[in-house]
């Protein structure tokens, strides 16, 4: 087993993990639908999360990085009260401070054994402020598990620190190890709507090349900030793509040192798509907890080929739309809306298309949705997420769904030629030119952002550098 650098101490480390399900997690009829779908004292650039001082890419850390998080891989958890051990996939420790609570969230890939494990306690050095962890992620049953989150209440005094250790022990007080939480508090602001962007790779539609137009569109329409993620195997060209957005303060970055990416593939598959699914889940939860007290609404899983469409989609409507939708549907109970589900409608695009052309210029789509929805949510009211729905939330809260006439996610996807049938016998023969008027606005924004170099850079971003970012 590779060494687990996130836990430090002498000898063989053992770890006991909690399983007292916190009462604030709930379930409702919407869980059945989900079941069917699936000011800091240090510069963050100097953070040393790895005992060996970091990788070769440490010079690429910047003062605009929110955090660098080590992928420490598989852990063997040995319990003082049991003869058996549990192998668990640890992801990271996320600090979350603000009006919605002060806590550290410990993230793991879900397993039934981990969900059924004994209690874990968290504390500072010398067992200061020792508390029992609350556990979320298994409330809907084994078949719906993807992430387990252990929440440890934490003193507000650490809110301005860039990194600190969290000591773990069991119910008998036996020390089990420690993890490191990292942040850049100088970057923390309050926002209305924030978008989370998982690590990107170039594929059929070249995510790196199409991300800038997605960022510009949603910024023009009211998304105030983006928390973006890179990983060790991300192409270096991604840094060049994000640079003007980071310099403008529109984007902050979290980097995953994914040194054990093979362990992210899942127990039953070695397919790269599953590896990337787990990285996306990791990014979603990291974003959720970093923005828990910083964003009113969060877009946790929107991909860069998916565009929010509400009404005629003009102006910065996303600044006020979600509160209005909640009020229209729930009246005086609008504050208890934890999420808003939005259907996706597919706009098929050609695989070999010119990446400098905007996706929103495509004017034909399928008539009906046949893919799983996406959602916007209040981070303060949710604990565990999946790509298409929530897995754990605050009791008494509600999820609502809007109709396609109110709004939908336009999904620009390589699918089928226009004359061919799609799923359920559909043809993409519905003319929809609602966003064509937005094309000049997005192109002008890209021109300003990249100093008039946009069309050439789009090709460069698609081609890539074949050089990974590596560890920071």
pLDDT category at 429 given cuts 50, 70, 90 is: confident
**Residues 305-323: b if buried by 16+ CB within 10 A, e if exposed:** bbbbbbeebeeebbbebbe
Measure the CA angle with vertex 190, ends 67 and 321; round to 5°. 120
- Range 97-122 average pLDDT: 93
Question: Which ranges of 331-368 would DSSP assign to H, the alpha helix?
Answer: none
- Range 294-302 average pLDDT: 97
- What span, in angstroms and rounded, lies between the C-alpha atoms of 389 and 243? 31
Q: Which residue from 9, 442, 70, 389 is spatially nearest to 259, judged by alpha carbons?
A: 70
CB 226 within 8 A of CB 302: no
Among the ranges given (232-241, 400-409, 411-420), the one the predictor scored with the smallest mean pLDDT: 411-420
pLDDT category at 117 given cuts 50, 70, 90 is: confident
**Residues 425-435: b if buried by 16+ CB within 10 A, e if exposed:** ebbbeeebeeb
- Range 157-186 average pLDDT: 88
Tell whether the model's pLDDT for residue 22 goes beyond 60.
Answer: no
pLDDT category at 7 given cuts 50, 70, 90 is: very low
Q: Which residue has the higher pLDDT, 77 or 168?
A: 168
Say what the pLDDT of residue 29 is: 45
Q: Which residue has the higher pLDDT, 402 or 52?
A: 402
Q: For 223-278, what is each residue's pLDDT tens digit?
A: 999 999 998 888 899 999 999 999 999 999 999 987 655 544 444 344 444 456 67
The DSSP code for 202 is -
- Range 115-122 average pLDDT: 90
pLDDT category at 354 given cuts 50, 70, 90 is: confident
CB neighbours of residue 351 within 10 Å: 8
Among the ranges given (193-207, 230-244, 408-422), the one the predictor scored with the smallest mean pLDDT: 408-422
pLDDT category at 352 given cuts 50, 70, 90 is: low
All structural domains of the chain, each given as residue ranges with its CATH number in brackets, are 186-463 (3.90.550)
Look up residue 107 and give its two tokens.
């993230």
Whether the CA torsion 71, 72, 74, 76 is positive or negative: it is negative
Mean pLDDT of the chain: 81
pLDDT category at 155 given cuts 50, 70, 90 is: very high
Among the ranges given (80-84, 391-395, 405-409, 416-420), the one the predictor scored with the smallest mean pLDDT: 416-420
Name 231's Cβ contacts closer than 8 Å, sequence gap at least 6. 199, 255, 256, 257, 258, 261, 279, 469
CB 237 within 8 A of CB 459: no
**Region of residue 407 (left: phi > 0; alpha: psi -120 to 50; beta: else):** left
């Amino acid at each position: 087993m590779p060494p687990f650098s996130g836990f430090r101490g002498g000898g063989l480390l053992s770890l006991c993990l909690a399983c007292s399900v916190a009462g604030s997690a709930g379930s409702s009829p919407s869980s059945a639908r989900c079941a069917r779908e699936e000011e800091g004292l240090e510069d963050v650039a100097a953070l040393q999360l790895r005992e060996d001082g970091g990788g070769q890419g440490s010079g690429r850390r910047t003062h605009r990085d929110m955090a660098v998080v080590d992928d420490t891989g598989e852990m063997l958890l040995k319990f003082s009260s049991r003869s058996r051990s549990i192998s668990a996939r640890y992801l990271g420790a996320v600090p979350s401070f603000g009006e919605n609570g002060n806590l550290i969230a410990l993230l793991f890939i879900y397993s039934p054994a981990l969900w059924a494990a004994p209690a874990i306690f968290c504390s500072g050095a010398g067992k200061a402020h020792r508390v029992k962890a609350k556990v979320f992620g298994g409330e809907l049953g084994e078949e719906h598990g993807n992430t387990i989150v252990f929440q440890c209440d934490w003193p507000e005094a650490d809110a301005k620190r860039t990194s600190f250790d969290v000591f773990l022990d069991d119910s008998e007080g036996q020390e089990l190890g420690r993890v490191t939480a990292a942040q850049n508090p100088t970057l923390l602001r309050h926002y209305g709507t924030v978008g989370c962007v998982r690590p990107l790779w170039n594929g059929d539609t070249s995510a790196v090349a199409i991300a800038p137009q997605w960022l510009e569109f949603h910024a023009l329409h009211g998304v105030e900030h983006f928390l973006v993620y890179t990983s060790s195997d991300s192409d270096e060209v991604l840094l060049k793509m994000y640079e003007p957005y980071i310099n403008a303060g529109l984007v902050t970055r979290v980097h995953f040192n994914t040194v054990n990416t093979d362990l992210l593939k899942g127990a039953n598959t070695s397919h790269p798509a599953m590896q990337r699914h787990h990285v996306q889940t990791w990014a979603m939860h990291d974003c959720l907890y970093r923005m828990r007290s910083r964003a009113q609404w969060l877009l946790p899983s929107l991909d860069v080929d998916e565009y929010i469409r509400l009404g005629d989609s003009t102006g910065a409507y996303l600044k006020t739309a979600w509160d209005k939708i909640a009020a229209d549907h729930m009246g005086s109970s609008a504050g208890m809306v934890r999420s808003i589900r939005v259907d996706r409608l597919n706009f098929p695009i050609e695989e070999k298309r010119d990446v400098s052309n905007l996706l929103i210029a495509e004017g034909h789509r399928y008539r009906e949705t046949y893919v799983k929805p996406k959602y916007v949510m209040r981070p303060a009211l949710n604990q565990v997420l999946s790509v298409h729905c929530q897995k754990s939330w605050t009791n008494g809260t509600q999820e609502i769904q809007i109709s396609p006439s109110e709004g939908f996610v336009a999904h620009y996807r390589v699918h089928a030629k226009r004359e061919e049938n799609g799923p359920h016998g559909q043809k993409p023969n519905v003319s929809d030119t609602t966003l064509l008027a937005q094309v000049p606005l997005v192109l002008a924004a890209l021109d300003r952002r990249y100093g008039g170099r946009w069309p050439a850079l789009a090709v460069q971003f698609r081609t890539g550098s074949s050089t990974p970012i590596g560890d920071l």
